C-alpha cells in the first residue's frame, strides 16, 4: 500500500494535486500520463500573464504549464489548454477568514495534499517535549504548542507518514525558527542585533561542527551545551542524520549557512537604520526563507535527489522561487504579529507601501501578485523539468509543490499568526 493511500484526509482537488499525488505514490514510475502527453504538439498555446516569462526554456515551459494544469489532458486526442489567470479553487485555496490573518487575499497556491490532524498532533507533542529538553522557548511552551509546528510538518511532507521522520524535520524547522526568535527578532526572548553576527558564527558550528585544536575543544563543547539554541540545532541535525545521507546533510548545511548570512543582513538594516529597497529585500528573502525546510523534502520522503540534479541551475532556480514564494506567504500572514514584536521587522507589504507610496491594502495586493508570479514560474519550470529529469527529480519537485500547499494552509490557521498568544 502506498503511503498516500493510507492517509485518511480527503484528497486535494487543485488541478495539479492528482498529478502530485500520482508522482508521490509511484516515485519510481514513469511520468504521469498527463505529463507524457504534454510532449505532444500544443494546438493553441495561450500567453501567460507574466510580462517576462521563464527564461531559456520559458516558452515551452509555459506551454507545458498550461497542459500540466489542464487536469483532463486526454480529449479529442490532444490535451486541453486552459488559461491560468484564475486562482485555484477547492479546499485550502481560499484565504483564512478568521483571526488576524483575515486580510490576506486569495493566493495562487495548491491546497494541502494531506491533512491528518492525529499525525500532526503526535509530531507536535513530541516536538514540544524535545523543545522542553533543549530549553528553547522556556516559559513559552504553551504558546509553542499552540503554534502547532507539528501540523506544519505534517502538512508540508505528505509523502511520509512516519512520525519519527516528520519529527526530525520538525526539529530542524523549530531549531531554525528558534535562531530567528531568540537571536534575531524577539528582544523579549533574548534577541540583540549587535550580538547577532558572533552568535550566528557559533550557531553555524552547531550545524557544521567546529574542529578546534584539542586544548580549546572543552570550551567549544561547553558553549554548545549551555545555549539552548545551539543544543537544539545540534540535536536536530543529529536526528535528521538518521534519515539523510551526507550529501543531503551537506545540502541542508549550505542552506542554513545562507539563512544565517541573510539574518545578518537583516540585522545590519536594523542597526544602520536603513530600509532596504524592495529588490534587495526580495534577494534576502530568497535566503532568509523556508529553503532549509524545503531542501530536505527527499530525506523526509525516504529517497535522494542526486546532488548533481539539485545543483543544476534550472532546478536551483525553480526551488529558489518556491522558497521565496513560501516565505512571502509568511510575510503576508505574519504582518500583524510583526507589528507586535519588539524589534523592527521587515516584510514585503510594508516595504512596498512605503517605497511605492501606496496604501497597505494595495501593497498587500502587489505582494500577492509577486507571490503568485513566483509560484506560477515554479509551476512552469517544475513541469518542464519533470519531463526531462529523473524520477527522483520529478518526485522532489512534486514534494516542493506539496510543501507550498501545506505551508499556506498552516500559515492560514496557526495561532502564531492568527491572534493566539504564542511563541
Ligand X SMILES: CC(C)=CCC/C(C)=C(\C)COP(=O)(O)OP(=O)(O)O
Residues lying near ligand X in the complex (CB under 6 A) are found at 173, 176-177, 180, 185, 259, 288-290, 292-293, 327, 330, 334
106 or 180: whose CB is closer to ligand X? Answer: 180
Tell me if 18 sits within 8 A of 33, measured CB to CB: no
Tell me if 148 sits within 8 A of 417, measured CB to CB: no
As measured in angstroms, the least distance from the Cβ of 189 to ligand X is 11
347 or 377: whose CB is closer to ligand X? Answer: 347
Helix, strand, or coil (residue 306): coil
Which H or E run contains 286?
helix 278-287
62 or 319: whose CB is closer to ligand X? Answer: 319
Residue nearest to ligand X (CB): 334
As measured in angstroms, the least distance from the Cβ of 381 to ligand X is 22
As measured in angstroms, the least distance from the Cβ of 33 to ligand X is 36
67 or 294: whose CB is closer to ligand X? Answer: 294
Tell me if 244 sits within 8 A of 172, measured CB to CB: no
As measured in angstroms, the least distance from the Cβ of 388 to ligand X is 30
66 or 334: whose CB is closer to ligand X? Answer: 334
Q: ∠ at Cα 290 (289, 296), nearest 5°?
A: 135
Helix 348-355 × helix 360-388 angle, to 10°: 120
**How far apart are alpha carbons 91 and 114 in whole angstroms?**
11
350 or 394: whose CB is closer to ligand X? Answer: 350
Could you give the count of Cα atoms lying within 13 Å of 169 in the half-sphere of its Cβ? 34
DSSP annotation of 157 reads -
Which H or E run contains 279?
helix 278-287
64 or 352: whose CB is closer to ligand X? Answer: 352
73 or 259: whose CB is closer to ligand X? Answer: 259
**Helix %, strand %, coil % for the chain, to 5?**
65, 0, 35
As measured in angstroms, the least distance from the Cβ of 333 to ligand X is 8
As measured in angstroms, the least distance from the Cβ of 292 to ligand X is 4
**How far apart are alpha carbons 147 and 151 in whole angstroms?**
9
As measured in angstroms, the least distance from the Cβ of 176 to ligand X is 4
Distances (CA, A) of 315 to 101, 318, 400: 32, 5, 11
Distances (CA, A) of 87 to 43, 143, 380, 381: 24, 33, 15, 19
As measured in angstroms, the least distance from the Cβ of 149 to ligand X is 9
Amino acid at each position: 500500500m502506498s503511503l498516500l493511500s493510507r492517509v485518511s484526509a480527503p484528497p486535494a482537488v487543485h488541478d495539479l494535486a492528482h498529478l502530485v499525488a500520482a508522482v508521490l505514490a509511484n516515485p519510481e514510475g514513469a511520468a504521469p500520463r498527463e505529463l507524457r502527453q504534454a510532449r505532444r504538439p500544443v494546438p493553441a498555446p495561450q500567453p501567460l500573464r507574466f510580462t517576462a516569462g521563464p527564461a531559456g526554456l520559458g516558452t515551452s515551459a509555459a506551454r507545458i504549464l498550461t497542459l500540466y494544469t489542464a487536469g483532463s489532458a486526454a480529449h479529442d486526442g490532444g490535451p486541453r489548454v486552459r488559461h491560468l489567470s484564475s486562482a485555484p479553487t477547492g479546499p485550502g485555496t481560499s484565504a483564512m477568514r478568521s483571526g488576524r490573518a483575515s486580510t490576506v487575499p486569495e493566493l495562487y497556491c495548491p491546497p494541502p495534499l494531506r491533512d491528518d490532524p492525529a499525525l500532526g498532533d503526535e509530531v507536535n507533542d513530541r516536538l514540544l517535549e524535545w523543545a522542553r529538553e533543549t530549553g528553547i522557548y522556556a516559559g513559552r511552551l504553551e504558546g509553542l504548542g499552540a503554534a502547532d509546528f507539528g501540523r506544519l510538518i505534517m502538512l508540508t511532507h505528505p509523502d511520509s507518514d512516519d512520525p519519527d521522520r516528520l519529527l526530525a524535520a520538525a526539529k530542524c524547522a523549530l531549531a531554525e525558527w528558534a535562531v530567528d526568535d531568540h537571536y534575531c527578532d524577539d528582544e523579549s526572548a533574548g534577541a540583540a542585533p549587535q550580538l547577532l553576527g558572533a552568535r550566528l558564527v557559533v550557531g553555524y558550528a552547531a550545524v557544521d561542527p567546529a574542529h578546534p585544536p584539542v586544548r580549546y575543544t572543552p570550551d567549544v563543547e561547553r558553549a554548545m551545551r549551555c545555549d539552548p539554541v545551539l543544543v537544539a540545532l545540534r540535536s536536530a541535525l543529529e536526528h535528521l542524520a538518521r534519515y539523510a545521507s551526507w550529501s543531503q546533510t551537506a545540502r541542508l548545511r549550505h542552506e542554513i549557512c545562507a539563512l544565517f548570512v541573510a539574518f545578518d543582513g537583516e540585522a545590519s538594516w536594523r542597526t544602520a537604520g536603513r530600509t532596504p529597497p524592495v529588490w534587495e529585500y526580495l534577494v534576502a528573502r530568497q535566503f532568509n526563507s523556508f529553503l532549509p525546510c524545503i531542501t530536505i523534502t527527499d530525506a523526509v520522503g525516504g529517497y535522494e535527489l542526486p546532488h548533481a540534479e539539485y545543483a543544476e541551475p534550472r532546478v536551483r532556480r525553480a526551488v529558489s522561487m518556491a522558497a521565496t514564494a513560501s516565505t512571502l506567504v509568511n510575510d503576508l500572514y505574519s504582518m500583524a504579529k510583526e507589528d507586535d514584536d519588539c524589534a523592527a521587522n521587515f516584510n514585503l507589504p510594508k516595504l512596498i507601501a512605503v517605497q511605492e507610496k501606496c496604501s497597505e491594502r494595495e501593497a498587500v495586493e502587489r505582494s500577492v501578485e509577486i507571490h503568485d508570479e513566483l509560484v506560477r514560474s515554479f509551476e512552469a519550470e517544475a513541469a518542464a523539468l519533470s519531463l526531462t529529469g529523473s524520477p527522483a527529480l520529478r518526485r522532489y519537485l512534486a514534494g516542493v509543490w506539496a510543501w507550498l500547499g501545506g505551508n499556506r494552509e498552516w500559515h492560514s490557521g496557526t495561532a502564531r499568526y492568527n491572534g493566539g498568544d504564542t511563541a
